[in-house]
A and B are shown apart, each in its own frame.
Chain A
Amino acid sequence: MEDIKQVKTVCGYCGTGCGLILDVKDNQIVKVRGDKDAPVNKGQTCIKGAFAYKYVHAPDRLTQPMLRKNGTLTKVSWEEALTFIAEKLSYFKEKWGPDSISMFACARTTNESNYITQKFMRAAIGSNNIDGCNRT
């Protein structure tokens, strides 16, 4: 069908690395199947890889930053959230040193985002306090 776009990607669940083909219609993923050309799975998928993709379009996805005000998480602009964090982290770094700040990185995001995560900690914060769920 003309209005369905196909996108090749890799599954986001376990570490097997199965190649998938996503059918996309009206900016929604409507079907996922195994990619026959994929060296790892040769077209196969498991139940999670094939069917547990609806979270991408879930109604309770976060869409705006939130800041705790008077004890309650309140929606704010990106500018307000990031300025608040930058000021706090700069203050902690100055007052207690870079090692008063720690980062738990993400085992689900891309290599590129992980590279930037550690560069942020090492170059902007000045700390090697970065780890992930590598140990669990």
Chain B
Amino acid sequence: MGSNTTEAHPIIANRMKKAVRSGLKIIVVDPRKIDMVKSAHQHLQIEVGSDIALMNAMMNVIIMEGLYDEEWVRKNTVDFERLKEKTAVYTPEYAAKITGLAPEEIIACAREYATAENAMIAYTLGITEHHCGVNNVFDIANLALLTGHIGKKGNGIMPLRGQNNVQGAGDMGCLPNQLPGALSITDENNRKRFEEHWGVKLNPHVGDTQTRTFERMEKGEVKALYIIGENPLMADVHMNHTKKLLEKLELLIVQDIFLTETAQLADVVLPAKSWGEVEGTYTNTDRRIQRVREAVKAHPGVKEDWEILCELSALMGYEMSYSCSEEIWNEVRLLAREMYGGMSYERLDKEYSLHYPCPDLNHPGTFILHERFHRPEGAGEQASGFVPVGYTPPVEEPDDDYPFVLTTGRRYEAYNTHTQTRYYQEGVKIRQTRETVDIHPDDAKRLFIEDGETVKVSSRRGSVHVPAKITEQVKPGLVFMSFHWSDVPTNVLTINEYDPISGTAEFKACAVKIEKIS
């Protein structure tokens, strides 16, 4: 669901496609006819942002037709009646109107998923980058719980993560509410564990998310922002607004490997070591910790991220001193021992990878989470509650002035704001070297737009000039763009509406118009 796996996670896509040859059935839920559709058993080409209507209707069918294990649900879940009540109105016919699908397609998908011996749901930002992103994820969890497709091999929920260590960054405590090892900052005992080792008193209040930081920047409450290896000017929604906020800061510090668009606005720029120049570990999308190693010596003028922060910390009066990354990792293992205690560098070097939780050196790591759901006596105290949710349409729907839905994503050969993928090895043939607005042949014909012709795409927030790519990958009324190229800053167009819980912006849906230039 909402994952263009072939382009964004090519190796995972290869493994999925290979499994098709051994009998795996793939159902693609995506507004675009993405490459994976070619390998799919079914493609549900839903309207952008209508995921909850689809999933609630699937659960409606599963409950009505009794395609779930009543005893399993009773032993392992809470609030089934609330789920039943919430999904009752989402008949396949009702959901068909919202999703643009036929009722039969929804019924078929529900039956396939519920009755499969093993089934998993892989999703990515097509699910989370909506004003209702958290509710979308809750509904995926509802589906998995209702059908028992969780906690055993070949089942589960698989969020495919977009950065090499986005999982690890959060797990290490780079979140406003969590200490390393996913320990809540508001819990006194958790704080005490770190306070004793670090020798300081910790702030007990949950901090600001990125979204909240931008809000407080607007009010002038944030004076200094320190950004490490990120290019939010290009990557975040409503770019013109982001730029104003960054310029408003008294101090912007950017630590990076290139002078990115964001770094150009900074007051101080610090040069950091890159991948290939550092030792350490990354945590991948399935909780797997693996070693990364120094291959080349960095330029003598640059320093590693942690070295810079340790030096700065000492200047500010709090001494942090480490001789190598392994020493830091051993502190993580000590303080977040339930998760990483057993993962020494020595073991990682020998065993290649280990899944957390891995609390001690004899522990094999945890390949499958949530196995409690399959004990004969059930999950008992650890039963999981359904969180029924309702469908809400995208915040900005197309209208007469802005008649197209714009959805955004990545393209195969480029990566995010393209600072790194500008540098390919010589001789590699690149299919897409510039941004395009992908538009359906019917729409192009109606607007007299030819393939490759530069057009103006505008939203209520700004406009860009970009060549059109005529393709049946999108439906009539839907256009697609990525955000890789700085000469076409797509995020000038996107909308600054956010999920109220996660703070994630609605990158996947805004209204635009398309005009011929000449």
Binding site for B on A (CB under 8 A): 5, 7-19, 22, 24, 27-29, 37-41, 44-49, 51-58, 60-68, 73, 78, 81-86, 88-90, 92, 96, 98-120, 122-136
Contact = CB atoms under 8 A, between A and B. Distances in A.
A9 B284 contact: no
Interface stretch (B93-101, B328-336, B445-453): B328-336
B305 A116 contact: yes
A31 to B, nearest CB: 8
B243 to A, nearest CB: 15
Given A15-B167, A15-B285, A54-B425, A89 B224 contact: yes
Nearest to A106: B229
A110 B305 CA distance: 9
A47 B421 CA distance: 10
Contacts of A101: 222-226
A65 B12 CA distance: 39
B154 interface: no
Contact of B166 (A82, A128, A129, A134): A134
B304 to A, nearest CB: 7
B282 A104 contact: no
Given A12-B275, A64-B271, A104-B227, A86 B301 contact: no
B171 A111 contact: yes
Contacts of A54: 423-425
B375 interface: no
| Residue from A18, A106, A136 whose CB has the most chain B CB atoms within 10 Å | A136
A71 to B, nearest CB: 11
B221 interface: yes
Given A40-B11, A55-B257, A92-B251, A126 B203 contact: yes
Contacts of B171: 111
B189 interface: no
A60 B258 contact: yes
A130 B174 contact: yes
Contacts of A96: 221, 223
Contacts of A82: 308, 311-312, 315
Interface in B203-233: 203, 205-211, 213, 216, 221-230, 232
Contact of B299 (A13, A46, A61, A120): A61
Contacts of A88: 224, 250-251
B224 A120 contact: no
Contact of B312 (A9, A17, A40, A120): A120
Most chain A CB within 10 A, of B163, B175, B176, is at: B163
A115 B297 CA distance: 23
Interface stretch (B30-38, B74-82, B286-294, B377-385): B286-294
A113 to B, nearest CB: 4
B353 A39 contact: yes
A8 B276 CA distance: 10
Contacts of B271: 61-65
Nearest to A109: B305
Interface in B130-171: 160-171
B229 A109 contact: yes
B296 interface: yes
B201 to A, nearest CB: 8
Contacts of B306: 110, 112-113, 115-117
A40 B422 contact: no
Contacts of B352: 19, 37-39
Contacts of B363: none
Given A14-B162, A61-B271, A44 B316 contact: no
B257 A62 contact: yes
Contacts of A46: 10-11
A15 B160 contact: yes
B121 interface: no
Contact of B332 (A39, A111, A120, A130): A111
Contact of B274 (A8, A11, A55, A114): A55
Nearest to B325: A112
A102 B226 contact: yes
26 contacts: A8-B291, A12-B276, A15-B161, A19-B290, A27-B297, A29-B276, A38-B352, A47-B10, A55-B274, A56-B296, A64-B271, A85-B312, A102-B207, A106-B305, A107-B164, A110-B280, A114-B172, A114-B174, A118-B173, A118-B174, A122-B202, A129-B222, A130-B175, A131-B175, A132-B166, A135-B211
B47 interface: no
